[in-house]
Amino acid sequence: MKKILFYVVLLLLTISCADTQSVHLSFDSTSLQQQYATKKLSESLLKNGYSIAENNAAVTVEFRLDTTLGKEAYTINNQGKNIVLTGGNETGLIYGANSIVEDLKNGIKLNTVENRSESPQLLFRAIKFDLPWDSYRHSYALSQHDEMCRDLEYWEAFLDMMSYNRFNVLTVWNLHPYTFMIKPKNFPEASEWTDEEMKEWKHLFSSIFKMAKERGIDTYVMPFNIFVPPSFAEKHGVALNNLEHHHYVDADTSQIIKTYTRESVTQLLNEYPDLSGMGLTLGEGMGGMTPFEREQWMQETIIAGMQQANRTSKLIHRIPFSGNTESLGATSMEMEQITRDGIEKEAAMEKIEKPVWASMKFNWSHPHSTTKLIKVHGGKLYGKYFDPIPQDFKIVWTVRNEDFFCLRWGVEEFARAHIKANTPDYVGGYFIGSETYIPAKDYFTNPDYKISAKYAFERQWLFYKLWGRLLYNSDTPNTVFINEFKQRYGETHAEKLFKASNLAGKTPLRLVSFFDSTWDFTMYAEGFTYRNPETENVEFIDINRFINQPPLDTTFVSIANYVKNTSQQPWPKEFTTPIMLANDLERDSKEALRLVENITEDNTDLMYEVADIKTWAYMGLYMAEKIKGGLALETYRQNSDSKNKQLAMTHLENALGHWDKIIEITRPIYNDMPLVHYSENNGKTWQENDSLRFHWALLRSDVLKDIDIAKQ
């Protein structure tokens, strides 16, 4: 009898234990977004030992909608056997489900999930993605991504990353996107594709937009203006000055181009119902036009095309950078007022959804510098966009990344401070992304080293997680990021890696703050290179340029200015002197190296994380010694004291030693990398150089020249 009773109890315990592992998901199966949310939650539950049950489950996760929470907000209410996940909209449900997935990854049991709620700080959290077809710049560095960007598995992975990190806008850019997406009904000569090829293009873009919609991600097509296909230009005898699609050429505003553009926009919106909206840019291919004429052209083409579509759509209006008729003109108060008037007119239109997103570049092409707004593309702001505070449009900052493509980067302190300092009520969000780098093919990693990342963006996982999560909620705790390190590399090193990444990753921010730059190749911090305005080539920043270049951040003091005005010391406390900057670089770089010095586990992914931290740290030490060498050299030039000349040489020799450490770390593990590069001829003719390759080892002779400069 006792034996029978024992087996009965054992059977009941077995059933009970099995029952505690079963989960029922209650959701609206007609909703694409809820289907996606439950799919990701189910995958995580199964991976963590749970089973999915249709009924009689130990725990039910119930999906509900409550619009009073607000867009993209969510709450989780754990009632024991019933977990209620409520979203302010469908996207909020996705974020709530992903929040539970995150708990499961961190080892938290489903029945102990804590109650919580979150709501978005900013409703526009976008990634700028330049397509490799008819790209803004013509280069192998971009075209090499062609095959991968046609692969829907790539886009599924990229969009999953966006959703998990709470980015809600994907913008795809190229010079003239229409011919890759539609065959214009009244202008078939504008398309070079066969019907079968066009079918493939349509399947690609339709699938991308549908997958994005499932994940709660808006999509925008961002054309540049004014461009037309060469076949169209040649047939109609228009735009013949720009068959190769260069940027800075005089505009051709022929009526047939206006008609073609307007009809293309309408057809595009009608044929892609999952596409959320359009963007417009003013500047490229618009030489000779006044700000008013450029705005009027947009009204007659893109905006008119949106109005003639059979549905409503959303709009991104990029703030123009030319306040005159030049393609490379400067900002002006008149331009701001004309642009604001145009945006407000667009926002009032029936088929354009509010708000209109008005995008401008924070600190031109190099916002990974200082959290202070120094300038936008073209120069300073005059305030017309903000005063009075707009009602129907919102400013969105474009935080471009043209400064680190190879090395992993993540400075939580910078991203958090940037968002908190630059989001008054009239700001609706941020773009992040690049114009000269596509995060698709990993062309950096030496194939002899097998890493888990299949795609380039996966290498920069911390970059995307920091920006995405903090743009959604700038009070997101650091445990979110540290836990990701734990999941990847174990608990032992997680906090050290997070701290070291924050410290070492300040190096490029400080370099770009210290060295003024404007558009893309006027600075490439990762390579310590810049575009020399005299030779028009991308060159290493030698000691002379380093001494004399004014800072981007106006509270930094250049080496030349510091030595010239030594009698004014001490400098006011709000200024960062070269000595202070060198000390900060040295302190943080040494601490970063100390934190990772004993991390030697046999894990290739971890090895790369540590190697990149060390590379940034040694670059920080290199920069610190170069500052000290520059101070001594400039002082010698002022007073001819040979002790300062010798001191300069000593510091620059020390700098070479740190550069050699960078080479020692990176030479075995990174390829020579193709970069977008070109020379310019009077702003008209562009010559691409696909043979240029970057690696720190290739610049050693330039580093050595600094010592020769000091000797001479």
**Domains in the chain: boundaries:** 2-118, 124-476, 506-711
Residue 421 has a CB neighbour count (10 Å cut-off) of 12
pLDDT at 679: 40
Task: Tell me the two tokens of residue 491.
Answer: 């608990």
pLDDT at 419: 98
Cα(230)–Cα(348) distance, integer angstroms:
35
Task: Tell me the two tokens of residue 600.
Answer: 């030697």
Residues in CB range of 140: below 8 A, 6 or more apart: 674, 690
141 residue type, one letter: A
pLDDT at 513: 98
Count of positions (residues) in the chain = 712
Task: Tell me the two tokens of residue 682.
Answer: 């009077």
Nearest to 100 by CA among 49, 29, 45: 45
Query: 2-118 with 124-476: one CATH topology?
Result: no
Residues in CB range of 44: below 8 A, 6 or more apart: 100, 101, 104, 105
φ, ψ dihedrals at 432, nearest 5°? -125, 155
pLDDT at 570: 82
Separation in Å, CA 294 to CA 228, 406, 469, 697: 16, 37, 36, 46
pLDDT at 683: 38
Cα(558)–Cα(117) distance, integer angstroms:
47
Run of H or E including 538:
strand 538-540
| Strands of the 22-26 sheet, one edge to the other | 51-52, 22-26, 59-65, 82-87, 74-78, 116-118
Q: Are 245 and 284 in contact (CB under 8 A)?
A: no
Most distant pair of Cα atoms in the chain: their distance: 105
Separation in Å, CA 479 to CA 163, 466, 486: 19, 12, 10
Cα(712)–Cα(705) distance, integer angstroms:
10
Cα(200)–Cα(211) distance, integer angstroms:
16
Counting Cβ atoms within 10 Å, is residue 440 exposed (0-12), middle (13-18) or buried (19+)?
Answer: buried
Q: What is the 3-state secondary structure (H, E, C) of 314-379?
A: EEEEECCCCCCCCCCCCCCHHHHHHHHHHHHHHHCCCCECCCEEEEEECCCCCCCCCCCCCCECCE
Complete DSSP assignment for 29-43: TT-HHHHHHHHHHHH
pLDDT at 393: 98
Nearest to 451 by CA among 616, 675, 670: 670
pLDDT at 595: 98
Class of domain 124-476: alpha beta
Task: Tell me the two tokens of residue 615.
Answer: 């590379």
Segments in 390-445 forming alpha helices (H): 412-421
Q: What angle separates helix 90-105 from helix 479-489, to the nearest 10 degrees? A: 50
φ, ψ dihedrals at 276, nearest 5°? -80, -35
Residue 639 has a CB neighbour count (10 Å cut-off) of 9
Complete DSSP assignment for 159-227: HHHHHHTT--EEEEEES--HHHH---SS-GGG----HHHHHHHHHHHHHHHHHHHHTT-EEEEEE-SS-
Name the DSSP letter for residue 569: P
pLDDT at 682: 35
pLDDT at 686: 39
pLDDT at 329: 80
Run of H or E including 432:
strand 427-433
Nearest to 91 by CA among 351, 472, 572: 472
632 residue type, one letter: A
Q: What angle separates helix 291-298 from helix 333-347, to the nearest 10 degrees? A: 20
177 residue type, one letter: P
pLDDT at 566: 80
Residues in CB range of 184: below 8 A, 6 or more apart: 178, 190, 191, 260, 263, 264, 267
Mean pLDDT, contiguous 10-residue spans, the chain (712 residues): 38 39 97 98 97 94 98 96 97 98 97 97 98 92 96 98 98 97 97 97 98 98 96 97 91 97 98 98 92 96 98 97 86 94 96 98 97 95 94 97 97 98 98 96 97 98 98 98 97 97 98 96 94 88 98 97 83 93 98 96 94 98 98 95 96 98 98 72 44 91 97 90
Pick the CATH number of 2-118 from 3.40.50.720, 3.30.379.10, 2.40.110.10, 3.10.20.90: 3.30.379.10
Q: Are 496 and 595 in contact (CB under 8 A)?
A: yes
Strand 693-694 relative to strand 673-674, pairing? antiparallel
Run of H or E including 394:
strand 393-400
pLDDT at 538: 87
Cα(620)–Cα(500) distance, integer angstroms:
13
